[in-house]
């Protein structure tokens, strides 16, 4: 397991901090329930910035590929993670509640011990589709070979009345 990257969010912005790294998908534990497998890695970049009104925030870029479970066929579905977001940092719950009313802004509470891995995992989960599925017609529906063979009789079908005609001739 890699070392957790923890920041003092407001101090990170004041110092114009920038950090980038890669996280194995295996370490994104809360994401596991959505995944077909735990292969791959996620690359991220976080930077502390001021917005146009000089309010502190974190700019986050997350990229990678994960394998979700298709809800139709239950097979592997490759999903591209490409998140770019600016998270406004607020100091109090009251400010957070006021900003939550504005749908154009995303805000989080500024903390002295923000775990960046948790933040990244939150953003990935929020960006997942509600129902992950292959496009129409692309699912591989699994049918046992025996069912296919039983349903499709390879021999040409005989006329049912020909058997009756044969019985009539013998008697």
pLDDT in tens, 114-163: 999 999 999 999 999 988 888 888 887 755 555 455 555 555 566 777 77
What is the average per-residue pLDDT within 66-90? 92
Minimum mean pLDDT range among 25-34, 84-93, 146-155: 146-155
CB 13 within 8 A of CB 110: no
Q: What's the rounded Cα separation, in Å, for the pair 10 and 19?
A: 15
The C-alpha R_g of the chain, in whole angstroms, comes to 28
What is the pLDDT at residue 88? 92
CB atoms within 10 A of CB 67: 19
Q: What's the rounded Cα separation, in Å, for the pair 167 and 57?
A: 90
State yes or no: pLDDT of 91 exceeds 70. yes
What is the pLDDT at residue 152? 55
Residues 6+ apart with CB under 8 A from 17: 7, 11, 46, 47, 48
What is the average per-residue pLDDT within 37-52? 93
Query: 145 or 45: whose pLDDT is higher?
Result: 45
Q: Which of 57-71, 100-114, 148-162 has the highest mean pLDDT?
A: 57-71
What is the average pLDDT score of the chain? 85
What is the average per-residue pLDDT within 105-115? 89
Query: What are the distances in angstroms from CA 129 to CA 15, 29, 125, 126, 136?
Result: 35, 18, 9, 8, 16
HSE-up (13 A, CA, CB side) for residue 3: 4
What is the pLDDT at residue 116? 93
State yes or no: pLDDT of 87 exceeds 60. yes
């Amino acid at each position: 397991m890699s070392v957790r990257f923890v920041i003092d969010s407001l101090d990170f912005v004041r110092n114009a901090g920038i950090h980038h790294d890669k996280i194995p998908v295996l370490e994104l534990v809360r994401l596991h329930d959505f995944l077909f497998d735990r292969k791959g890695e996620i690359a991220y970049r976080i930077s502390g910035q001021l917005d146009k009104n000089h309010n502190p925030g974190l700019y986050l870029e997350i990229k990678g590929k994960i394998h979700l479970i298709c809800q139709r066929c239950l097979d592997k579905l490759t999903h591209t993670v490409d998140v770019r977001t600016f998270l406004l940092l607020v100091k109090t719950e009251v400010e957070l509640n006021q900003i939550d009313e504005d749908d154009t802004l995303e805000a989080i509470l500024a903390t002295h011990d923000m775990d960046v891995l948790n933040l990244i995992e939150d953003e990935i989960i929020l960006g997942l589709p509600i129902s992950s599925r292959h496009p129409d017609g692309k699912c591989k529906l699994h049918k046992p070979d025996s069912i296919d063979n039983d349903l499709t009789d390879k021999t040409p079908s005989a006329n049912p009345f020909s058997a009756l005609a044969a019985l009539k001739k013998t008697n």
